[in-house]
Amino acid sequence: MASISIDYGQMSQIEAVSVSVVIPSFNSAATISKCLLSAASQSLRPKEIIVVDDQSTDSTSEVIRNLIIQDESLPIILIQKDNNEGPGSARNDGIKAATGKLIAFLDADDFWLPDHLMTAVAILMSVEIDSTVVVHRPLGVGKDDPPMSVPSFRFFAPIEFMFVQSFSSVITLVAARELIMRSGLFPVSRKHAEDFEFALRLFLGAKHCCTVLSPRTAVIGKHAFASGSGLSSQKWPMLWGSLRALRNVLSSSTYSPLLPVLWIWTILKFVRREMLS
């Protein structure tokens, strides 16, 4: 395992890096406040927190506006879509509106611990900030094991990174805006595994991929493939979406000969998850 000693003493350089947080929301009135406040209270304060409301039918937008009214110092920008087009489209609108050098993603029912952005930016600065993707291992709901104090990460080829280490959630992903724009935005033609396809394109386009084993600084509100009414709970569409994402991204890449193997690997992981659930 490769690791690095991050120099948090270089605070002036770290604080000079601008970060835009992009959050898609849909009917998130019950969770959006905790989500936004976790982003706003980061030890490395983001330049802006862009919330793209995907035509919610509940009071999500009202909750967001009330937060802004209560504290005008919160760097929250609310974008309301004219039509409901799914999380991929909402994230794309947030990326296009972002003005920060880096973009960090968060979902409306998840939240970050205070040093999430600080850790990611420090790692990016220690490698190559413009050509590196950082993801963290998130904490799940109900887990009380505390984050460790020393960050560790590894460099992987994209395939090993995605399938051996098992990319977990877009809410832990931080990368340069220009790298994201070059690699391609979220697909908008579907609502299953669009984040997986986006991440795979991004990892293929990056020079370095770093996974932070500790500290774990993001908390997932609901697990992928968990029971419930969310999109991630729709197990078979999620599996099919993942297989289609592999085809879309890898069929025209140097990894195309591995595509059948990766399809089988993905199906086997799904079956194993079902057997253990």
User: What is the spatial distance between Cα 274 and Cα 204, in angstroms, rounded to a whole number?
Assistant: 29
Query: pTM for this structure?
Result: 0.86
Q: How many CB atoms lie within 10 A of CB 13?
A: 12
Task: Please report whether residue 235 resides in a domain.
Answer: no
**Whole-number percent of the chain with pLDDT over 70:** 82
Residue 87 near residue 183 (C-beta atoms within 8 A) = no
Task: Please report whether residue 45 resides in a domain.
Answer: yes
Task: Please report whether residue 260 resides in a domain.
Answer: no
Over 70: is that where the pLDDT of 152 sits?
Answer: no
> For residue 160, what are the domain limits?
11-222
Quick: pLDDT tens for 94-148: 999 999 999 999 999 999 999 999 999 998 988 889 999 888 777 764 444 544 4
**Whole-number percent of the chain with pLDDT over 90:** 47
Over 60: is that where the pLDDT of 226 sits?
Answer: no
Which is higher by pLDDT, 89 or 167? 89
Over 50: is that where the pLDDT of 227 sits?
Answer: no
Q: How many CA atoms lie within 13 A of 238 on its CB side?
A: 18
Task: Please report whether residue 22 resides in a domain.
Answer: yes
Name the amino acid, one letter, at 15: E
User: What is the spatial distance between Cα 51 and Cα 63, in angstroms, rounded to a whole number?
Assistant: 12
Residue 119 near residue 210 (C-beta atoms within 8 A) = no
Q: Number of structural domains, the chain?
A: 1
- Measured distance between the N- and C-terminal CA atoms of the chain, rounded to whole angstroms: 30
Task: Please report whether residue 194 resides in a domain.
Answer: yes
CATH number of the domain that residue 201 is part of = 3.90.550.10
Tokens 């609901």 found at: 222
Under the banding of pLDDT at 50, 70 and 90, the label for residue 166 is low
Over 70: is that where the pLDDT of 167 sits?
Answer: no
**Axis-axis angle for helices 259-276, 235-250 (nearest 10):** 160
Name the amino acid, one letter, at 168: S
Task: Please report whether residue 268 resides in a domain.
Answer: no
Task: Please report whether residue 244 resides in a domain.
Answer: no
Q: How many CB atoms lie within 10 A of CB 20?
A: 23
What's residue 230's pLDDT? 47
User: What is the spatial distance between Cα 218 and Cα 90, in angstroms, rounded to a whole number?
Assistant: 21
Task: Please report whether residue 227 resides in a domain.
Answer: no
What's residue 233's pLDDT? 54
Which is higher by pLDDT, 134 or 62? 62
* Average pLDDT over all residues of the chain: 84
